């Protein structure tokens, strides 16, 4: 079973950068896919990847990360609407998807859709042994 957890940016807005990263990483470690309304700062994305690499072990295989930017396919130029939204939201437009690598095999993006390819999470030996007893 795949669990998607939608998280409005307001849920992490008051946290420090480390707090944001911890919250997202902890949810991914619970085998849930986080759909964050908005985007992290580039530095936070980098730190999320670094923190993930430090926590990889036999039970946690890492994360898959995708950032969807609604303005990325537009041609360069001045957009009053986009500029005002960035000023108000702090350049947080878009969506960030973070999921455990044990479940999320690939995230494909194109202008019309997002494809999230998943596989069923393998249960750890501890859980299987408990069921056998």
| pLDDT reported for residue 26 | 96
pLDDT of residue 76: 47
pLDDT of residue 75: 45
Q: What is the pLDDT of residue 54?
A: 95
DSSP characters for the chain? --EEEEE-GGGTTTS-HHHHHHHHHHHHHTTEEEEEES---HHHHHHHHHHHHHH--SS---EEEEEE-TTTTSPSS--HHHHHHHHHHTS--SEEEEEETTTEEEEEEETTEEEEEE-PPPPPHHHHHHHH-
Domain ranges of the chain: 3-132
pTM score, whole prediction = 0.73
The per-residue pLDDT string of the chain (133 residues; one tens digit each, 9 = 90 and over) reads 788 999 999 999 999 999 999 999 999 999 999 999 999 999 999 999 999 999 999 999 999 998 887 766 554 444 455 555 544 555 567 889 999 998 888 877 776 677 878 887 665 545 444 454 4
């Amino acid at each position: 079973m795949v669990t998607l957890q939608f998280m409005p940016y307001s849920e992490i807005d008051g946290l420090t950068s480390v707090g944001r990263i911890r919250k997202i990483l902890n949810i991914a470690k619970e085998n849930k896919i986080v759909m964050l309304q908005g985007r992290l700062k580039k530095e936070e994305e980098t730190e999320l990847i670094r923190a993930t690499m430090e926590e990889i072990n036999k039970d946690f295989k890492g994360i898959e990360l995708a950032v969807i930017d609604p303005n990325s396919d537009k041609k360069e130029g001045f957009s009053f609407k986009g500029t005002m939204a960035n000023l108000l939201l702090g350049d947080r437009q878009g969506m960030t998807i973070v999921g455990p690598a044990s479940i999320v095999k690939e995230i494909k993006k194109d202008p019309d859709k997002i494809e999230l390819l998943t596989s069923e999470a393998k249960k750890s030996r501890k859980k299987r042994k408990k069921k056998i007893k």
